[in-house]
Amino acid sequence: MRIGYYPGCSLEGSSKEYNDSLFAVAEKCGVTLEVIKDWSCCGASAAHNLNHDLALALPARTLALAEKQGLEDIVVPCAACYSRIAGTKNEISNNIAVKAKIEGYIDLKLTADVKILTVFEFLQKYIFPTVDQHIVNKLNQKAACYYGCLYTRPKEIAAVEQIENPMEMDEVMAKAGATPIDWAFKTECCGAGLSVSRTDIVAKLSGKIIEDAADRGAESIVVACPMCHMNLDMRRPEIKKQLKKDINIPVLFITQALGLSMGIPADKLGLNKHYVPTDKVVNCIVKMEA
Amino acid sequence: MHESTHHHAETFKSKVEEAIGVTVSHCYQCGKCTAGCPLNEEMDIMPNQLLRILQAEMPGYEEKILSSLSIWLCLACDTCYSRCPQEVLLSKVMDYLRQESLRQNKVNPKAKDILSFHKAFLNSVKMNGKLHEVGLTIDYKLRSLNLMQDVMLAPSMAAKGKLAIFPHQVQNTKEIAKIFKKITDSEGGKQ
């Protein structure tokens, strides 16, 4: 099986460490990812806010290129990209007229039969079969797995089984030797695309998420989305002002957490690129006995 | 398909329903959408009220909805839809209303920055085929005149290797510009 990879724009810029840690984990398990040649932006919230046809045409172009390349599974590590690409696939598969219109815009034919995988689906499908032999550390900490909106809703494209209490990321964290906690803000919204235009709202919404994780004793928050990461990590000064409290729980990408359990060095996983220091998390780790 | 439209004059409500395949009368005002909405504290019209206004079709309702702040605050998180006992796809209604608000020049002045950000984002994609975060930030600052916002983040982001000074681009940027143009043309030239 050839596994396609759609990094999306954030993973080439502000969330490079997510990209690097995903590749580090895949490499350790001997899994190869093939980047979709000449992929373009999915359009994110901007396109579906302003122009419905554009919101379909941009992801459709990438889908068509993946098909041309002969890829069957595509890993999409960003929740916004996942939502746009899976949503587009869903809409054009269910409506022939829309499909024809979009094919006209992009000058490419589509079958829309590629499978779109989130990062945690990828880990479970391709990394889990061999992961046990690579795990050398126990993360040994209470982790709050944060899924946010776009992996869990709308139900037509949800990447999780239970949309109000998803467990897929929790399973990955348990594998890494952490204790996933039960908490109330797993699927609440972080404010996503308003990060720049309404930072005040993002501080409020993300503040509630951080506060609940802290109240329940979490030592780390684990995410699988660059937008969630940016809002919970880089926006922490605004969040602290909003909460009038100093909460310093670090935010890890799920691939960084799993990578740590595989003994991949912290700097190779890009843990030094975060705003909230991650050394507390690294210090919790214990070596497993042979 | 919709025989009834031959007997009734087309209204704003019927246009919304036809465009997105949602029936607003399905809503029986239980209020779950508003209860679960993460932005209910910020909105000027609550999600359930918005549907009620569409249902009632009182004079001036189109203007009231299209110039509301709520339609721009909606994050499309779909909490409303996933909990709606009648499965009213409110996020799709919101998408349609935003586009119509923009087309009719009715955008609420308080939504100016939000709109500037979306426009700057799409502009970057149109030019490069991919989002260039640095370009987006500069474009947004010029559009919104929030020039000093987040300036303090730039040095630390650069130090962490999170800033790509030059844009990543697709092989042929004209191909992307062509997709934008075809869509704009099909809509009668206005974007």
Arithmetic mean of pLDDT, B131-136: 93
pLDDT tens digits for A252-280? Answer: 999 999 999 999 999 999 999 999 999 99
State how far the Cα of A273 lies from the Cα of A283, in Å rounded to an integer.
Answer: 17
Q: Is B105 on the interface with A (CB under 8 A)?
A: no
Q: What is the token pair recorded at B162?
A: 């999170």
> Where does a domain end: A89, A117, A145?
A117
Model confidence at B46: pLDDT above 50 = yes
| B81–A12 C-beta distance less than 8 A | no
Give A50-66 as a DSSP string. H-HHHHHHHHHHHHHHH
Distance from CA of B133 to the nearest CA of A (A): 7
* Rg for chain B, CA atoms, rounded: 20
Model confidence at A97: pLDDT above 50 = yes
pLDDT reported for residue A290: 66
Helix axes B112-128, B173-186, angle to 10 degrees: 130
Model confidence at A197: pLDDT above 60 = yes
Is A271 found in the same domain as A150? yes
| B99–A50 C-beta distance less than 8 A | yes
Distance from CA of A176 to the nearest CA of B (A): 26
Chain A residues whose CB is inside 8 A of the B117 CB are: 46, 193, 196-197
Question: Among A46, A155, A234, whose Cβ lies nearest the Cβ of B82?
Answer: A155
The residue whose two tokens read 């609440």 is A188
Q: Scanning every residue of chain A, which has its alpha carbon at the shortest distance from the alpha carbon of B107?
A: A50
User: Into how many domains does chain A fold?
Assistant: 2
Q: Give bridge partners of residue A21 from the DSSP assignment.
A: none
Is A259 found in the same domain as A157? yes
Query: What is the CATH classification number for the domain harbouring A94?
Result: 1.20.1050.140
pTM reported for the whole predicted model:
0.95
The residue whose two tokens read 């398990």 is A29
Chain A residues whose CB is inside 8 A of the B113 CB are: 197-198
Question: Among A14, A48, A58, whose Cβ lies nearest the Cβ of B76?
Answer: A48
Query: What is the CATH classification number for the domain harbouring A226?
Result: 3.40.50.11810
Chain B residues whose CB is inside 8 A of the A48 CB are: 76, 95
State how far the Cα of A113 lies from the Cα of A73, in Å rounded to an integer.
Answer: 9
- Here the ipTM equals 0.93
Quote the domain boundaries for residue A266.
Answer: 134-287
pLDDT reported for residue B165: 86
Distance from CA of B163 to the nearest CA of A (A): 6
State how far the Cα of A280 lies from the Cα of A283, in Å rounded to an integer.
Answer: 5
Residue A65 lies in a domain: yes
Model confidence at B191: pLDDT above 50 = no
pLDDT tens digits for A101-146? Answer: 999 999 999 998 999 999 999 999 999 999 999 999 999 999 999 9
Residue A61 lies in a domain: yes
Is A247 found in the same domain as A143? yes
State how far the Cα of A88 lies from the Cα of A223, in Å rounded to an integer.
Answer: 24
Domain chopping of chain B, boundaries = 3-106, 110-186
Q: Scanning every residue of chain A, which has its alpha carbon at the shortest distance from the alpha carbon of B88?
A: A154
Of the residues A94, A197, A272, A278, the best mutation for testing chain B's interface (the one with the most B CB atoms within 10 Å of its CB) is A197
Model confidence at B5: pLDDT above 60 = no
Model confidence at B97: pLDDT above 50 = yes
The band of B9, judged by pLDDT with boundaries at 50, 70 and 90, is confident
Chain B residues whose CB is inside 8 A of the A275 CB are: 156
Chain A residues whose CB is inside 8 A of the B186 CB are: 53
Is A235 found in the same domain as A196? yes
State how far the Cα of B13 lies from the Cα of B16, in Å rounded to an integer.
Answer: 5
Arithmetic mean of pLDDT, A231-236: 97
Distance from CA of A208 to the nearest CA of B (A): 10
Residues in chain A, overall count: 290
Query: How much is the mean pLDDT over chain A?
Result: 96
pLDDT reported for residue A112: 86
| A196–B125 C-beta distance less than 8 A | no
Nearest partner of A26 among A169, A140, A173, A125, judged by Cα:
A125
Q: Scanning every residue of chain B, which has its alpha carbon at the shortest distance from the alpha carbon of A41?
A: B130
CB atoms near residue A29 (< 10 Å): 16
State how far the Cα of B191 lies from the Cα of B189, in Å rounded to an integer.
Answer: 7
Backbone angles phi, psi at A224, to 5 degrees: -135, 35
Q: Is B145 on the interface with A (CB under 8 A)?
A: no
Is A180 found in the same domain as A258? yes
Model confidence at A186: pLDDT above 90 = yes
| B179–A57 C-beta distance less than 8 A | yes
Is A36 found in the same domain as A108? yes
Is A260 found in the same domain as A201? yes
| A201–B82 C-beta distance less than 8 A | no
Q: What is the token pair recorded at B60?
A: 């001036």
Regarding predicted confidence, which is higher, A235 or B1?
A: A235
Is A212 found in the same domain as A91? no
Residue A112 exposed, middle or buried by CB count within 10 Å (0-12, 13-18, 19+): middle
Model confidence at B148: pLDDT above 90 = no
Chain A residues whose CB is inside 8 A of the B81 CB are: 153-154
Q: Is B150 on the interface with A (CB under 8 A)?
A: yes
Distance from CA of B54 to the nearest CA of A (A): 20
Q: What is the token pair recorded at A219?
A: 């030592």
Between chain A and chain B, the number of residue pairs with CB atoms below 8 A apart is: 150
Nearest partner of B164 among A237, A19, A23, judged by Cα:
A19
Arithmetic mean of pLDDT, B89-108: 97
SS3 A282: helix
Model confidence at B58: pLDDT above 90 = yes
Is A103 found in the same domain as A160? no
Residue A139 exposed, middle or buried by CB count within 10 Å (0-12, 13-18, 19+): buried
Q: Residues near A95 by Cβ (< 8 Å), separated by ≥ 6?
A: none
The band of B1, judged by pLDDT with boundaries at 50, 70 and 90, is very low
The band of B151, judged by pLDDT with boundaries at 50, 70 and 90, is confident
Residue A123 lies in a domain: no
Residue A194 lies in a domain: yes
Question: Among B42, B98, B133, whose Cβ lies nearest the Cβ of A50?
Answer: B98
Nearest partner of A36 among A77, A80, A87, judged by Cα:
A77
pLDDT reported for residue B8: 66
Is A143 found in the same domain as A95? no
Is A227 found in the same domain as A102? no
| B119–A50 C-beta distance less than 8 A | yes
The CATH number of B3-106, from 1.10.1060.10, 1.10.287.3510, 2.60.40.10, 1.10.490.10, is: 1.10.1060.10
Cis ω for the linkage preceding B59 (within 30 of 0): no
Q: Scanning every residue of chain A, which has its alpha carbon at the shortest distance from the alpha carbon of B185?
A: A105
Chain A residues whose CB is inside 8 A of the B132 CB are: 9, 13
pLDDT reported for residue A215: 98
Chain A residues whose CB is inside 8 A of the B140 CB are: 196-197
Residue A128 lies in a domain: no
A174 touches A151 (CB < 8 A): no
Question: Among B117, B140, B164, whose Cβ lies nearest the Cβ of A13?
Answer: B164
| B95–A48 C-beta distance less than 8 A | yes
Is A90 found in the same domain as A48? yes
Arithmetic mean of pLDDT, B58-72: 98
Arithmetic mean of pLDDT, A231-260: 97
Amino acid in the structure at residue A33: L
Residues in chain B, overall count: 191
Arithmetic mean of pLDDT, B46-73: 98
